[in-house]
Structures are given as structure tokens and as C-alpha cells.
Amino acid sequence: MLCSDKTGTLTLNKMEIQDQCFTFEKGHDLRSVLVLAALAAKWREPPRDALDTMVLGAADLDECDNYTQTEFVPFDPTTKRTAATLVDKRTNEKFSVTKGAPHVIIQLVYNQDEINDQVVEIIDSLAARGVRCLSVAKTDSQGRWHLCGILTFLDPPRPDTKETIRRSKQYGVDVKMITGDHVLIAKEMCRMLNLDPNILTADKLPKVDVNDLPDDLGEKYGEMMLGVGGFAQVFPEHKFMIVEALRQYGFKCAMTGDGVNDAPALKRADVGIAVQGATDAARAAADMVLTGPGLSVVVEAMLCPDRCSSACFLS
């Protein structure tokens, strides 16, 4: 069993900003929302990830220079957002901005009850078409968060992913997709890659302590996990639980990952695979480190187990 991240492994991880932008405050448009998104990043430093690459490549960075960033909180997979505090050099106004997953940002805004249904409808309609979203919010003079806009972007699958998955299955290794994205995004990606479109979301996964996993996890949940094409809206700790459940159910399990929080799951898997660009912690915990993008090199490893001991998950 091969459990793979979606973004950057199954997809190109080359975000393409779209012209469609949904705004929720007067005076905002695509241009101004992009500037706010850039303010929630280190706009004069090299981009930290694919999302920042997309935002900083589209935003007016000269406009950003009218602000001084006094505090910055980088992206964390457990919070799914970045945040920054800024001062407008022209007016001395102090405010905070944040950008991140729509379902996270909506919980911050002061008028969540008023706009929640509208936001959910927008996100669902876009996700069904494979369009991803990035919400951007800003505080007012009272410190209340206002949703300023929702940016839309695409992250298409790698051209070789569909064939790689087909070959993997041909050699007896099933593939499960794991993503923190919206369930409808996951379903559409599965459809494009000929994976089972049945998806388990984090709220359907068992509520267990990852530091004290029960011995009957596989017995209770293994069959349920086999019946889906992947998992959506998950956090890093869910990866460890998924690996453990599948191992208890009798599978040799490989897992891809790139972040510090992925290290426990990579270490627990029979074969931990650190993808290209992984952190030092992930690389140290992994059995295999990919030096190129995508999963095709993993399939090649299956073809030469005599030369690559990391292909042991085939047994």
C-alpha cells in the first residue's frame, strides 16, 4: 500500500492564480486581495512554498513596500494559515492579515454566521471543478477579523501521475491519496487519476491518541480505509494513524511526506519516502529520499528490487 501526498507529489505544485476572485468587503478586488495575501508573507524574501510563489508572483510588491511588517507567523500544517502584523507607513495604521484554508479563515471572522453559507457554497462549487481557494482576511481598528476575499487557483496533476498509479497497481501496490484540501477537490483529483472517488474526511477517521494507538485499530478501521481512494482535510497526525491502521490490517505500507510533522508517520511506515524538497527532519526519518518530483521513481524502484532495498514494501 502506497499512501501519497497530493500536492507536489501527485500534482505539479505549480499554482496558477485565476482571474476569478470573490470579495466580501467594499473596495476590494483581485488586486487588493493579492496585496493583502502578499502582506501575509515575506514578500521581499524567496517564497517559502508554492502558494507564496503564486501570490508573490501575482501581487504588486511595490504596493506592499508601503507597509512595515512587525510580526510574522509562517504556515503551519496544524493551523493551515499564515499571519502577519503590519503598520501602514503612510497613515501609521496597525493591523493584521492572514491567508489560509477557507474553512479555517471563516472561523476567525466576526460575521461568520452571516456569510458562512455563502462561503461554503462558493467553495463547494469551485472544488467540484477542481479549483482550489485561498481566503484572505484583515483586522479592523477593533481587532475584528473581516473576510476580504477568496482567491482561486489551479494545481493540475503531473502529466505522468495517472500512468504511474496504473503501473503501481499493476505491480500489486494500491495507492491512497492523502490531502489537507477540501473533500470535493480530493474527489475531482481522484476522478482525474482513475482512483476510487470515495474519500474519507478527517472527521470520519477514528478519534484516537496518536501517542497511544489501540492494538485493534486495523481490525476496526482497516476495511473502511481500504474502501476509499484517499483521505481529505487531514492533519499530519492523521497520517501516522492511517499508516498504523493499514499495517495492523496486514499491509506493508509506504508513506510520502515532506514536513517536520510528517516524520513520525514516515518512520512508522515500512517504507518512508521523503519527497523532493523535504525538510531535514523528514529526510532523516525516511528510508527513501526522492531527488526528483512525482512518484515515477518509486515505481522504477519496484522494477529493480535487487538494486534498491527500499522496494521492500512490495513483499
Catalytic positions: 5
314's CB contacts (< 8 A; 6+ apart) are 171, 172, 173, 252, 302, 305
Q: Is 170 exposed, middle or buried (0-12, 13-18, 19+ CB in 10 A)?
A: exposed
Neighbours of 49 (CB within 10 A): 18
Tell me the C-alpha distance between 16 and 34, whole Å. Answer: 13
Q: Is 119 exposed, middle or buried (0-12, 13-18, 19+ CB in 10 A)?
A: buried
Query: Which whole-number Å values give the CA distances from 38 to 21, 69, 99, 233, in the listed order?
Result: 15, 11, 9, 24
79's CB contacts (< 8 A; 6+ apart) are 100, 104
Tell me the C-alpha distance between 12 and 85, whole Å. Answer: 32
Query: Which whole-number Å values give the CA distances from 97 to 30, 34, 35, 48, 83, in the listed order?
Result: 16, 12, 10, 17, 6
Written as nine digits, the cell of 107 is 472561523
Query: Which whole-number Å values give the CA distances from 144 to 70, 71, 86, 192, in the listed order?
Result: 19, 18, 15, 40
DSSP category for residue 109 = B
- DSSP H or E run through 82: strand 81-88
Tell me the C-alpha distance between 138 and 281, whole Å. Answer: 33
